[in-house]
Amino acid sequence: MNQVPDIITRLEVLPDGARIASIGTFDGVHRGHRHLLDLLVGRARALGVESLVVTFEPTPMQLFAPDRFRGRLTSNEERARLLGAAGVDRVVVLPFTPELARQSPAEFLGHLADAGVRELWVGEDFALGHKRAGDVATLRQIGAGIGMGIDAIARVDFDGMAVSSSAIRERILAGDVGEANRLLGHPFAMEGQVVHGDQVGRTIGYPTANVPLPRDLVKPADGSYASWAWIEGETAPRAAMTYIGTRPVLNTGERVVETHIFDYDGDLYGKRLRSEFMAFLRPDQHFDGLEPLLEHLADDARRARAVLGDEGTSRFASPAGTATEPPSRV
């Protein structure tokens, strides 16, 4: 099981003691984040102090640029699990409000210092405070006056590609979940409680577990995907295929997330189901009747089984999406 860090929502309730911290959105907790977190946790353990991550809910983009917000890579709960898997001792999730956003870099660093933060580890392009006034150079000047060191870490490249949440988000929107997973270091996933659908899938031999489309998560391109299904209460994933789209053959018009779990006939209603997207099989499309749809579903199933059989569970699939490969180094 992954470690779940202690989570609080106010800096002032932190217990006394020195700590090493990082601050940011940490959306996706991708390979670049993991590189920074590995250094942070290692430094904290070497000094015998607590490692701390300060993040925000909602994300700044959700509050200030909702028209340009393309969706999150992880929910708040998933982000916390992934931070715990990275070894972080404690997470502060600050409610992100206009009042918080208006704080100056000096004000915010002062709050961190009062909370025992002695070193702040950030990415080299990090900026803090109103209108991003607190770049790394500014933070170092402020930190020198309050006894706080500022360490800036270079951006991580993986196989020649810069790793960033926005780059990963664009790949998911395009349906390229395989490449997104490589940059994340763990699978992109959707999770929710299974609800009753119209049960059409069961009548055509492909029963599906229906989960409401997560409201804030980035939406993968419509189509069919090979996926791993984690059923609440089970300790290993099941091979599956997941469909996202409007089911044009059935003319429902409603965008749905449906997962067909191979060789499974249990009752999933009311249980939580996590679908980890492993490979894009085909885009959503219209078929002239059920017969061609069934032919494509059979082909989807064959290809999904082949993909999941080749990859197995050792590379990506894991209970909270934990990376099983070490993050790359710069």
Residue-level pLDDT at 289: 77
> What digits encode the pLDDT tens for the residues 291-313?
888 998 999 999 999 999 955 44
For residue 213, give the DSSP letter. Answer: P
Residue-level pLDDT at 123: 93
Q: Three-class SS of residue 175?
A: coil
Residue-level pLDDT at 252: 62
Contact (Cβ atoms closer than 8 angstroms) between residue 140 and residue 148: no
Distances (CA, A) of 267 to 195, 215, 228, 327: 11, 25, 18, 38
Residue-level pLDDT at 311: 53
Residue-level pLDDT at 8: 92
Residue-level pLDDT at 317: 41
Contact (Cβ atoms closer than 8 angstroms) between residue 195 and residue 273: no
- The one-letter amino acid code at 183 reads L
Contact (Cβ atoms closer than 8 angstroms) between residue 164 and residue 29: no
- Closest by Cα among 330, 305, 323 to 81: 323
Q: Give the Cα separation of 62 and 45 in Å (integer).
A: 34
Contact (Cβ atoms closer than 8 angstroms) between residue 50 and residue 196: no
Is the CA virtual torsion 57, 61, 65, 70 positive or negative? negative
Tokens representing residue 28 in the block: 């996706």
The strand pairing partners of 217, in sequence order, are: 72
Contact (Cβ atoms closer than 8 angstroms) between residue 256 and residue 244: yes
Q: What is the pLDDT along the chain (330 residues), one digit of tens a residue?
A: 345 677 899 999 999 999 999 999 999 999 999 999 999 999 999 999 999 999 999 998 888 888 889 999 999 999 999 999 999 999 999 999 989 988 999 999 999 999 999 999 999 999 987 778 899 999 999 999 999 999 999 988 888 888 999 999 999 999 999 999 999 999 999 999 999 876 666 667 889 999 999 889 999 999 999 999 999 999 999 999 999 998 766 656 678 899 999 999 889 999 999 999 999 999 988 877 788 889 989 999 999 999 999 554 434 444 343 333 332 222
Q: Give the Cα separation of 314 and 325 in Å (integer).
A: 9
Q: At CA 221, angle to CA 217 and CA 227, rounded to 5?
A: 80
Alpha helices in 174-289 (DSSP H): 177-184, 200-203
Q: List, in order of start, the domains of the chain with CATH numbers.
A: 6-155 (3.40.50.620), 161-311 (2.40.30.30)
Alpha-carbon dihedral 233, 239, 244, 246, rounded to 10 degrees: -100
Residue-level pLDDT at 330: 22
Q: Three-class SS of residue 49?
A: coil
Residue-level pLDDT at 291: 86
Residue-level pLDDT at 288: 78
Task: Give Cα 147 distance to the centre of its chain.
Answer: 34
